[in-house]
Structures are given as C-alpha cells and as structure tokens.
Amino acid sequence: MTHNIGLRTQRGVTLIGLLSWAVVVGFIGYVLVRAVPTVLEFHAIQTAVDKIAAAPSPTVAGIRGAFDKQREIDYSIESISGKDLDISKENDRVVIRFAYSREIELIKPVYLLFKYEGESK
C-alpha cells in the first residue's frame, strides 16, 4: 500500500494566463467602444429616413431638405447629408436609400472599415 502524501495537483490560473485574458478582453472592449457610435449613427439615419419616407415631401429637394433638418436636430448623424440620399418612387411609394462607409483607426496603421447601407421601410 502506497500513500501519496504531499503530491497534490494545483488548479488555477497563472499570472501570465490572467494577463493574456486581460489583454484579449481589453482589446475587444476597445474595439466595441470605437465601433458602437457608428452603429448608433446608422440607427439614427435609418430612423430619420423611415420618418421622412412615411410623410414624404412632394419633391426630391424637399425630402433632402427634411433629412438635413433632421441631421441638424440629431447630432449623431455626421456621415451623410441629404445630397447623399438615393430617392425613387416604387409602386406609388417613396423609397429612400443610403450607403456609406466609416473607417475607424484602431492602432496605426490598422483600421477597421464599416460599410452601411439601408432603405426606408
């Protein structure tokens, strides 16, 4: 009969392992902090376009002007203006389309590119 006195397995995380996870989680958090404002801007643009399309102006210039007024009210919209909207009429319904890109610098020379596009509902 042998006894294994003094031989115990240790469990846990090493300091290097903990630091590695902290770096990974920190980097993901940094990317999210940089990316979330672009997503919020996209939703603000989509909301403005939907609102304008629901009660459209009779002219293309009027629709562009309404978007620019909404842009002045909602300061989060910076990427596009009324002149960037593609406005058409389909089946007696005004359809407003938009597309743009946002480039975010992570760490020089690394950038993250977001491409957004949408249309009125």
- 48-99 residue pLDDT tens: 999 999 987 788 999 999 999 999 998 899 999 999 999 998 888 899 999 9
Q: Which two tokens stand for residue 3?
A: 């006894």
Q: What ranges do the domains of the chain cover?
A: 37-119
| Confidence grade of residue 6 (pLDDT, cut at 50, 70, 90) | low
Give the percent of the chain with pLDDT over 90.
71
Q: What average pLDDT score do residues 4-14 get? A: 72
Q: Contact, 94 vs 73, CB < 8 A?
A: no
- Residue 1 reports pLDDT greater than 60: no
Where b means 16+ CB within 10 Å and e means fewer, 68-96 reads: eebbeeeeebebbebeebebeeeeeebbb
- 79-90 residue pLDDT tens: 999 999 999 988
